[in-house]
C-alpha cells in the first residue's frame, strides 16, 4: 500500500483540485492496482475543506486543532502506516500533482525522493508577478541533483521514515528537518525532477517561512537589490 498525506488549513478553494489530481495519480496503470490510501489532515479548518474532502470517494479525513504542519503531516503518516503503507507520499492542499507522480517517485528506487515544484500562475502577485516569475526561474534549480526540499513533493519509504522518528512538531521547515535526519541516517535520497507538481503562488501564505511566505519575501526583495536566492524547502537559504 502507498499512503498519501495532505495537510490542510482552510483550503476550501483549492483542496478539490488537489484531491482530483492525487486520485488520478493513484489510479495510474503503472501502479498495477496497488492500493493507494489518501488522507487529508484537517488542521483547525473552519471553512468547507472537510465537506469538499468528503465528496471524494475513498479519501480519509483526520481532524485536529494544532495549527502546526509538522504535527499534521506526522498524524497523517501515522494513519497511513497503521493502515499498512510501505511508501509515504506528501503533498499540499494547494498543489496539483502530475498523473505519474507516484509512479515517478517509486521509479527512483530510493528511500527518499525530493521533487521540485512548478508554479503555473503568478497573477496573484499582480504587477509584481512577471518579475517574480523571472527571478524564480533564474535562481530555482529544476534539474536532477537539486537540493530543494518541498513538503508538496516528497516521498519516503516507511521503514526509513520510522527509523528517524518521523516529522518533528515544527510549524515550518518540518520537511527539511525530516530530510536532514534521513540524510544523516544514511538513507538513499533521490534529488529528482521526475515527480512533478504544480503549486500555488498564493499571497495568503499558510506557514511563516514556508513556500508562499518565501515568495512574498522575494517580492519585497525585488523592490531593492535582489539577493542571491536558493530555495531549499520554501525558505531562502
Q: What are the beta bridge partners of residue 2?
A: 36, 87
pTM, rounded to two decimals: 0.88
pLDDT value, residue 234: 46
CATH classification at residue 30: 3.90.550.10
Is 228 inside any structural domain?
no
In a domain, 44, yes or no: yes
Alpha helices in 148-233 (DSSP H): 158-163, 174-184, 211-221
For the record, the C-alpha cell of 210 comes out as: 514556508
Query: Could you give the 3-state DSSP secondary structure of residue 66?
Result: coil
pLDDT of residue 226: 47
Sign, CA torsion 76/79/81/85: negative
Give the count of domains, the chain: 1
Kindly compute the dihedral angle of the four CA atoms of residues 64, 68, 203, 198, in this order, to the nearest 10 degrees: -80
Tell me the per-residue pLDDT of 27-54, one tens digit each, with 9 for 90 and over: 999 999 999 999 999 999 999 999 999 9
Which residues of the chain, if any, have pLDDT below 70? 125, 202-237
Does residue 96 lie in a domain region? yes
| Alpha helices by DSSP H, 140-187 | 158-163, 174-184
Helix (H) or strand (E) holding 35: none
Q: Which DSSP state fits 220?
A: H
* Full domain range(s) for residue 84: 2-119+140-167+182-197
Cα angle 13, 232, 116 (rounded to 5 degrees) comes to: 60
What pLDDT is attached to residue 237? 31
For residue 206, being part of any structural domain is answered with: no
Q: Answer yes or no: is 16 within a domain.
A: yes
- Any domain includes 232: no
Angle between helices 129-139 and 211-221 (to 10 degrees): 110
Amino acid at each position: 500500500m502507498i499512503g498519501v498525506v495532505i495537510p490542510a488549513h482552510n483550503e476550501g478553494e483549492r483542496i478539490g483540485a488537489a484531491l482530483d489530481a492525487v486520485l488520478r495519480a493513484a489510479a495510474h496503470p503503472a501502479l498495477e492496482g496497488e492500493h493507494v490510501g489518501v488522507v487529508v489532515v484537517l488542521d483547525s479548518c473552519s471553512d468547507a475543506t472537510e465537506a469538499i474532502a468528503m465528496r471524494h470517494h475513498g479519501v480519509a479525513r483526520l481532524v485536529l486543532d494544532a495549527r502546526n504542519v509538522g504535527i499534521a503531516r506526522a498524524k497523517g503518516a501515522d494513519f497511513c502506516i497503521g493502515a499498512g503503507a510501505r511508501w509515504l507520499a506528501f503533498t499540499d492542499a494547494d498543489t496539483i500533482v502530475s498523473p505519474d507522480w507516484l509512479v515517478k517517485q517509486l521509479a527512483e528506487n530510493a528511500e527518499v525522493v525530493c521533487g521540485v515544484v512548478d508554479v503555473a500562475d503568478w497573477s496573484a502577485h499582480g504587477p509584481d508577478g512577471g518579475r517574480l516569475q523571472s527571478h524564480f526561474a533564474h535562481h530555482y534549480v529544476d534539474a536532477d541533483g537539486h537540493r530543494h526540499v518541498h513538503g508538496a513533493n516528497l516521498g519516503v519509504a516507511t521503514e526509513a521514515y520510522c527509523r528517524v522518528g518521523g516529522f518533528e512538531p515544527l510549524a515550518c521547515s518540518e520537511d527539511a528537518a525530516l530530510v536532514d535526519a534521513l540524510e544523516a541516517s544514511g538513507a538513499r535520497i533521490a534529488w529528482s525532477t521526475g515527480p512533478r507538481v504544480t503549486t500555488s503562488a498564493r499571497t495568503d501564505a499558510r506557514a511563516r517561512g514556508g513556500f508562499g511566505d518565501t515568495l512574498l519575501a522575494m517580492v519585497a526583495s525585488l523592490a531593492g537589490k535582489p539577493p542571491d536566492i536558493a530555495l531549499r524547502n520554501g525558505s531562502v537559504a
